[in-house]
Structure 1
Amino acid sequence: MNFQPFTGTVTNIQNFGSSVNGEDQGCTLLFTVDGNRDEIVNFVVTPHTYFVENETIKRGDRITGFYDADAPVPFIYPPQYEAWVIAKATNEYFVKVDYFNHELLSQDGSLRLNIGPQTEILLENAQQFRGRIANRYLIVLYGPTTRSIPAQTTPYQVIVLCI
């Protein structure tokens, strides 16, 4: 997977997908997100989409949606991506979703993790993760980084994606 972020303001939320006997099931949503320079993206939000901090999103919220850039998408405008992770904008931390190798270096080479004693490591269901986090897809919540290349950080929280 090749997780890519798209950040913008939610301008619309509507039900998406199939209906049974003419009744909308409501389990899948479509978030319309307006980014910088009037770029618009539709995120398909399924029951499997992970919401950082269990945030409830509403129109007007600024979010970052992470999607698999290698997944096939319909050839329509605006582009429509399945959201794997949604993070509401905050000044408290940054969010990165990526594959981290045996050295805890992100797949894109931009961030190296230094796990500290205060780093909380969880599964998507908020239970403590007891395995090794290397060579896995992770959601990382972090604050300050070094100015080195790659940047290094001691994350506040790591959520292991068991995909």
Structure 2
Amino acid sequence: MKKFAVVLVASSVLLAACGTDQKEDKKEEKETSQTTNGSHTTNQEDTNQENDNNQEGEEEEMNSQFVKFEGKVKEVNTAEALEDNTIIVNDTTNQDEELHIQIHKKTKFYNSNGEEINIEAIKPESTITVYMDSSRPVPMIYPPRYIVDVVIVDDGEVNFADVAKFDDKLVSDTNSVKLIENEDTIIVDDEGNEKTWEDVKNANAIVFYTASTRSIPAQTSPSKVVITKVTELEATE
């Protein structure tokens, strides 16, 4: 009888222990499930936030004032009428696609040092960067033909240039450059008239600089700023 009682007690203890283990296993399983679900929610939120940021970046790029092309000059065709002058370029940013660049009466030409030049200074094999008003319609013809506002010729100097609309904090509409005010910066308009930093705010400008930070946007104290109104003019003027 005593042995039977001992067996019953031992069995009860064993069953109780098994029940406790099962409860603990279920508790751990529940906690693991909660942790996994929580992690999934966080990852989904991160994905949504990333998508929102990407959409904002795309909208910002789409709303930029200027479209930019880079390439090597293949041919320069000059004519008596300025608007008939064309530059044939192999667009290095788009698998060397051939582009026909047309200028208009107020198209501005500069070297990378910020010195104003004319179309005669552009030769075959020259590397150029051109900017055009993003709202200007493009004829549906091939090869593509673009009416451009600014042409910058790479003269071999280690200098940089950008054309954009700058806000009241002197940040470009592409969020690529932020200008730092410097009293030594030369600031003029299209006609060469002296201007101030206040005039640069909320204006289209051509900027030339030699160095910048690696931040986003890059910060620089430009050597020269040209406030331009080329996009306000019709291409046939």
| Greater helix share, structure number | 2
CA distance in 2, matches of 1:159, 1:50: 10
Alignment correspondent of 1:92: 158
Matched, 1:58 2:123: yes
Displacement of 1:70: 2.4
Structure 1 residues 39-48 or 7-16, which shifts more?
Answer: 7-16
Are the equivalent residues in 1 in contact too, given 2:76–2:122 (CA < 8 A)? Answer: no
Query: What TM-score does the superposition give when structure 1 sets the normalisation length?
Result: 0.87
| Counterpart amino acid of residue 149 in structure 1 | I
**Is it true that 1:157 corresponds to 2:224 in the alignment?**
yes
Shift of 1:59: 1.9
Q: CA deviation at 1:160?
A: 0.4
The DSSP-based 3-state class of the residue aligned with 2:82 is coil
Structure-2-length-normalised TM-score: 0.61
Q: Say yes or no: does 1:26 pair with 2:77.
A: no
Tell me the matched-pair count: 155
- The yes-or-no answer on 1:125 pairing with 2:191 is yes
Q: Pick the structure with greater CA Rg.
A: 2
Cα distance in 1 for partners of 2:194, 2:168 equals 20
Distance 1:47 1:155 in 2: 27
Q: Paired residue for 1:19?
A: none
Cα-to-partner distance string for 1:41-65 (whole Å, 9 max, x where unaligned): 1111122100112232122211111
- Corresponding residue SS for 1:87: strand
Give the aligned partner of residue 81 of structure 1. Answer: 146
Aligned identity (percent) is: 30
Q: Distance in 2 between matches of 1:33 and 1:10?
A: 5
Q: CA RMSD of the aligned region, Å?
A: 1.7
Cα deviation 1:125-144 (Å, max 9, x = unaligned): 22212452100000000121
- Where does residue 22 of structure 1 map in the other structure? none
Instruction: Looking at secondary structure, tell me which structure has more strand per residue.
Output: 1
* Secondary structure of 1:132's aligned partner: helix
For 1:136, the equivalent position in structure 2 comes to: 203
Q: How much has 1:2 moved relative to structure 2? A: 2.2
> What corresponds to 1:14 in structure 2?
77
Determine whether 1:48 maps to 2:106.
yes
Name the SS of the counterpart of 2:168 in structure 1.
Answer: coil
Segments of structure 1 that go 5 or more residues without pairing to the other structure are: 17-24
